[in-house]
């Protein structure tokens, strides 16, 4: 559906460029950036064409120059947000595990930076089949496949490794966001109150974990998960490590 992030309709009137436009001409990136800002501030449900138009000081209908529909706009902002991620590549003489770790943390940081956008980032691509996705979205996939092939996986193995890694990453971040509470100050008390409500007989474990649940060190959690995943993958590589 959506092309690359930047794809402007060329104005046909060549003199249009000479003329002074109202303020400045609007680029697709501008629109997407504003949309992301709006979602960050007030959530996805607050994103409407009219509001976005208002935020940009433009007629809402103008937005359809830059996104063919709201669906397309949503795809666009997801693509835009994800494009901030560096494409993972093992540096010269670098460590593939370290690369995966860095990539995972970068992804997590991005999701935490845009918590309102995260659900979209995870589920939006469901709409468009893999083969039809914009190139920008597929580049990280290719890079990861390349990484795995580089350490000895065959094609099939690389694909499976990718799916395991990416699946884990998505899930882990979703999980962290789920346990997150808007106001971190009240969270402890609120959590405690919430857990008090649970019948003791039915939920002994959960109630006992109140303390642990209150502090969620996402980065650490991610790393510990990666320990497991990477340990599972390591034996299948031909790198310098074990068999």
The one among 5, 29, 30, 71 contacting DNA by CB under 7 A: 71
Nearer to a second copy (CB atom), residue 15 or residue 200 = 200
24 contacts which partner out of a second copy, DNA, none, CB within 5 to 8 A by kind? none
C-alpha–C-alpha distance, residues 170 and 180, integer Å: 16
Task: Give the Cα-Cα-Cα angle 150, 156, 159 (nearest 5 degrees).
Answer: 70
Provide, rounded to whole angstroms, the least separation between the CB of residue 48 and a second copy.
Answer: 15
Binding of DNA by 27 (CB under 7 A): no
List helix spans (H) across the chain. 28-42, 49-56, 70-82, 96-113, 118-123, 135-150, 155-179, 184-196, 204-208, 210-214, 218-233
**Among 3, 6, 7, 11, which residue sits at the site for DNA (rule: CB under 7 A)?**
11
Take residue 206 and report the two structure tokens written for it.
């959960």
Task: Residue 85: name the closest of 123, 141, 161 by CA.
Answer: 141
The SS3 assignment for 127 reads: coil
DSSP state letter for 24: S
Regarding 49 and contact with DNA (CB under 7 A), the answer is yes
Distance of closest approach, residue 137 Cβ to DNA, in angstroms:
21
57 part of the interface to DNA, by CB under 7 A: no
Contact 31, 52 (CB under 8 A): yes
Among 7, 50, 163, 180, binds DNA (CB under 7 A): 50
Looking at the Cβ atoms of 13 and 91, the one nearer to DNA is 13
From the list a second copy, DNA, none, pick the one residue 193 interacts with, judged by a Cβ distance below 5 to 8 Å according to partner type.
Answer: a second copy
Place of tokens 């990280």: 140
Footprint of a second copy (CB under 8 A): 118-119, 122-123, 125-126, 129-132, 135, 138-139, 141-142, 145-146, 149, 155-156, 158-160, 163-164, 166-175, 177-182, 187, 190-195, 197-199, 202-206, 208-209, 212-213, 221, 224-225, 227-229, 231-233
Q: Can residue 163 be called a binding residue for DNA (CB under 7 A)? A: no
Say which residue the tokens 């970068």 belong to. Answer: 106
Closest CA to 148 of 165, 128, 135: 165
- By CB under 7 A, residue 70 contacts DNA: yes
**Residue 30 interacts with DNA (CB under 7 A): yes or no:** no
Using CB under 7 A, count the residues that bind DNA.
Answer: 26
Residue 192 engages DNA in binding (rule: CB under 7 A):
no
DSSP string, 63-79: GGGT-SSHHHHHHHHHH
Short-list 143, 139, 151, CA closest to 233? 151
Interface contacts to DNA, rule CB under 7 A? 9-16, 18-19, 22, 47-51, 58-62, 64-65, 69-71
């Amino acid at each position: 559906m959506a092309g690359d992030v930047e794809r402007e309709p060329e104005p046909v009137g060549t003199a249009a460029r000479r003329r002074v436009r109202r303020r400045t001409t609007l680029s697709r990136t501008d629109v997407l950036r504003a949309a992301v800002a709006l979602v960050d501030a007030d959530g996805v449900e607050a994103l409407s064409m009219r509001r976005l138009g208002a935020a940009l000081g433009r007629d809402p209908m103008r937005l359809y120059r830059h996104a063919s529909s709201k669906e397309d706009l949503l795809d666009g902002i997801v693509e835009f947000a994800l494009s901030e991620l560096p494409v993972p590549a093992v540096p010269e003489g670098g460590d593939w595990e370290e690369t995966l770790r860095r990539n995972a943390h970068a992804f997590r940081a991005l999701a935490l930076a845009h918590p309102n956008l995260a659900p979209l980032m995870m589920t939006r691509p469901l709409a468009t089949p893999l083969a039809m996705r914009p190139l920008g979205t597929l580049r990280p996939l290719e890079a990861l496949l390349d990484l795995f092939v580089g350490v000895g996986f065959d094609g099939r193995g690389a694909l499976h490794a990718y799916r395991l890694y990416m699946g884990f990453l998505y899930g882990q971040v979703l999980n962290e966001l789920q346990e997150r509470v808007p106001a971190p100050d009240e969270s402890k008390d609120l959590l405690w109150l919430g857990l008090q409500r649970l019948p003791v007989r039915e939920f002994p474990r959960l109630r006992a974990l109140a303390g642990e649940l209150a502090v969620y060190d996402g980065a650490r959690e991610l790393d510990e998960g990666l320990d497991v995943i990477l340990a599972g993958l390591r034996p299948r590589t031909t790198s310098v490590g074990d068999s």
